[in-house]
A and B are shown apart, each in its own frame.
Chain A
């Protein structure tokens, strides 16, 4: 065998990073805790290794160990992290370096760089992008400030900034989430590291932006030949960009192997369970997700909807909702801008059904749900609610009728951490709606609360506990129980699972489904996650820039998306199915969220609303210039 052939064969080449028997301990007041337990894996040169697991599985701690930026109470208590820097004659054991030593400072940000999940909080709001990015280069290379700025501009341009020169002077809050993450990537790559650690780099981003960022990382990897350690809980992302996969659970490796092995032939029950818990597009009509830990509820089985008159038509209807916001402009002299957040939105929610509202951040979906709640007054249009006595305009309700409406429509919030008062016990949280509406005696309330807790699968012993002692999924179930306290007819769910882990997400989605069939609830389900909406909704409305661009029963929508925006959105969702890879080339265009840039007949010029056109039963799309259409 010739020598160069030998080099080409991967197994023969030493890996860039090899972790052997790594153990990390946390020392806390309540005792020691082993976050990473005897971890062993390799990161080969130029490849992408995905570290997969739920939160608390130790994947982030592993990444922090490689950079030695562990929290103060954590310590590497065993094992080695051999870093085989091609620029150095011999491998270094990172685990034995001093965290604040010179050698570690050289590696950190220089040879090994890291990007984080939250691009907003990862950048300092007080310093310009240019300052923060060039700083990384100034630390590691002996260059002048001017040269560093020059290089920063180049790397920003490479990371896809439309106007890199201006970006130098921008502050992070002036940029969109996608651009912020691009700035983070630029900051990590300006020193040309050999290893990039990406900790959930796209979790906080919209799907189309996620696809673009993943594409960028892939491209840059091909260009520079660096290795990537990708930390994620999204199996769809893993299937699309990883070469090798390591699955972690409670600090240990459950399964490791090439992407093919893992997805085609998952061996370990944990991995199989994880794969089953993720909503996919290709699911059968009545297939149920299988959460890793199923929640049992006795009350749910014989719960039923209260006897009350049912409306003839849809229970909730929105007609021509429109809302404009006036934004203060950035500079002292600038004129205030008008932003049309919602443009003529029509929605209709039948009894006992789920309407999914999908769109990317800033598309106006939350504004719509606020207007339905009567928390925000629309500029035009009306919301009609029918409690069985005929539709009534929600904005004309007063006194008793309004109180009744408030009881009938309840809200489930996105963030289970900030939506529960940390100083109230579970009992107080769940009885608060009853106390506000003055329902029942204390004894009756107590009974009701016990029943509610059982309905969402929580133990009655939790009544005296405070929210902080619950996990994210349990808290979200508390939020659902609180929303159910007043026996509502409609639940507005604003991204109820987007802050949760996949395994817990399946739990909460199933609970919502069960509650709906038991109690005859109607849901408006707002989400940016298409697969989740596909799993739970009956009808789906796709929103973009304040317009509903397409609305259809879910089977139709996913089988036959017509609007270019819907198509782009669907194409951007990474599927944990190796046979349905993302079409990155198609997603690079970035023209699909601009109504004036859509091809005819979908193009909507500025200042126009366009009209909805029904192309098959229940399937409506928005087209521009109705007059031109009719003439043609």
Chain B
């Protein structure tokens, strides 16, 4: 049955098609890139916006949630740029190299590009595409995916950050990619970034996303990462979009022999948030950690899709996800560990836990194992429930007020993930952010 061919296209799908036709000739890149864009849009057009019959989107019906396709965001004015400098206050005190992407455009004027460490280059994607930089050959080549939201990103990608670390290069301080939306009207921004790490390179990268409250803007962002042999990457992504925003993010990471990858997602803000993490452990002896914390309230809807693929032998992966859901918010976690026949001696463990704080909060959890190699140790666990009433009572009997007891328990719950973050400053900032979230909680 050709069930995918639908006669009716939604208004948003039609608007996206119109928008692509209108802007494709103005988007950066040579003929090859243009062809890539067209192919990606065709992929999107053949299936449309993901809906609940698409297994990986079964809990987030984008066809119903994405009603409009707003115009592409335009460049920010001087006043907006000045405001952008104050973005991500939770990391304000932290020593970092800050790179700004405002309204979907890399802004070199306010970015810290001076005195780059040896072997390190940072540039804008638009520039790299325009100059046919050889690095852009990595685009779309890290991890294969036919995801429709990613296809939209490929079709529309306007700008982003291109980072390369040569063999042995090390960042002396964390790199903070600050993504900001400044416009108060509904806009759309499609950013695509690239991080290519040579043999033995090492980096800490923080990515933050934010924008104004009350604006129904849309962000579709993607990062492709190549972690070279023996390289080490710690990435923390903070999603703190405005309360009406729709945020879709895709991480595509390909990891080589003996490398180390630690990725943590911290999700606070946004109306609809979708984080896709597609990770391929392509070399032997990799140590990978994928983790996440979501703090959701109001009507927030957060969906994390994780697919870790073990391809080579002797790799270890740890997946740890914690989510706290209040009010009528909904959290979704779909995690899959796949172990190919070639990936003997894989050691993979995934744990996802949801804490529901209100009668109307919701949690959907789908931890999946797909195993084709016999000499493996794989497992997953998952729990859903409310706060442990006995623990709460115990704390209250020692004189701790109820609200505080709850806060302590919640902090301990998410602390299991936050405490594992390597960078001390980030760890402290996320701990504080959790505390603030708890204070603001009614």
Do chains A and B interact in one complex?
no
Binding site for A on B (CB under 8 A): none
Binding site for B on A (CB under 8 A): none
